[in-house]
Chains A and B, each alone.
Chain A
Amino acid sequence: DIVMTQSPDSLAVSLGERATINCKSSQSVLNSSNNKNYLAWFQQKPGQPPKLVVYWASTRDSGVPDRLSGSGSGTDFTLTISNLQAEDVAVYYCQQYYTTPWTFGQGTKVEI
């Protein structure tokens, strides 16, 4: 199974500042045949289901503010929240869909 490891487990960021969340996979999730990284990021607020933020490692889902951005390739990925707003407070999960079983990181809690 591919193990997804996020860091840090939690971070506190001031309003307007930048939050950076890292995600490392135990093996590459890059498909060399189409050059796509099979990596998604989800945002989960208390009492709500996860919400897709980024897929293919760097494609923002519809309606997601452009202050949230994904980057990385192979085994190392980053979700960056620029200009942090109060509504960005949540737990963020990375997830690989390269191979089953699909696996998630343990989550990173972002606080103000």
Chain B
Amino acid sequence: QVQLVQSGAEVKKPGASVQVSCKASGYTFTTYVISWVRQAPGQGLEWMGWISPYNGKTEYARKFQGRFTMTKDTSTSTAYMELRSLRSDDTAVYYCARVMSIFGVVITPHYMDVWGKGTPVSVSS
């Protein structure tokens, strides 16, 4: 079955970086975009960006540009996100999600249909 398995919980100090992985299985990795969404404790959902495993194209939410990077490794069907210069308000659960997309001349991502279980990241001194 389709699954996205995320790496385990992280505890970081302010100013550090964190990398979260998202390993896909049960489908062809390059035929769906992967998106990243986070959720602070007790709060709503916040979209961070997406990456196409097909060609590496990315789109970032303006808020995270400059300290957030998404990458992919098609040989292991794994997507990665890295968030740098961590602050206490980056404490959240980070989710990856598969995105139903249209692949044509331009990649057009649509809705997020399968989600990973989430990776808690805690930032505290």
Residues of A bordering B, CB below 8 Å: 38, 40, 42, 48-52, 55-56, 61, 93, 95, 97, 100-107
Contacts and interface: CB of A to CB of B under 8 A. Distances in A.
A99 to B, nearest CB: 11
Contacts of B118: 49
Contact of B117 (A49, A95, A103): A49
Nearest to B118: A49
Interface of B: 35, 37, 44-47, 59, 61-63, 95, 100, 109-118
B86 to A, nearest CB: 21
A103 B37 CA distance: 10
Contacts of B115: 49-52
B47 A104 contact: yes
A52 B117 contact: no
Contacts of B47: 95, 100-104
A52 B113 contact: yes
Nearest to A59: B111
B46 A104 contact: yes
30 contacts: A38-B110, A40-B111, A42-B45, A49-B95, A49-B116, A49-B117, A50-B112, A51-B115, A52-B115, A55-B100, A55-B110, A56-B111, A61-B113, A93-B44, A95-B45, A97-B109, A97-B110, A97-B111, A100-B59, A101-B47, A101-B62, A101-B63, A102-B35, A104-B44, A104-B45, A104-B46, A105-B44, A106-B44, A107-B44, A107-B45
A100 B47 CA distance: 9
Contact of B45 (A38, A50, A55): A50
Contact of A55 (B35, B62, B95, B113): B113
Nearest to A95: B45
Interface pairs A-B: 8 shortest CB-CB: A49-B115, A55-B111, A102-B47, A101-B61, A104-B45, A40-B111, A107-B44, A52-B113
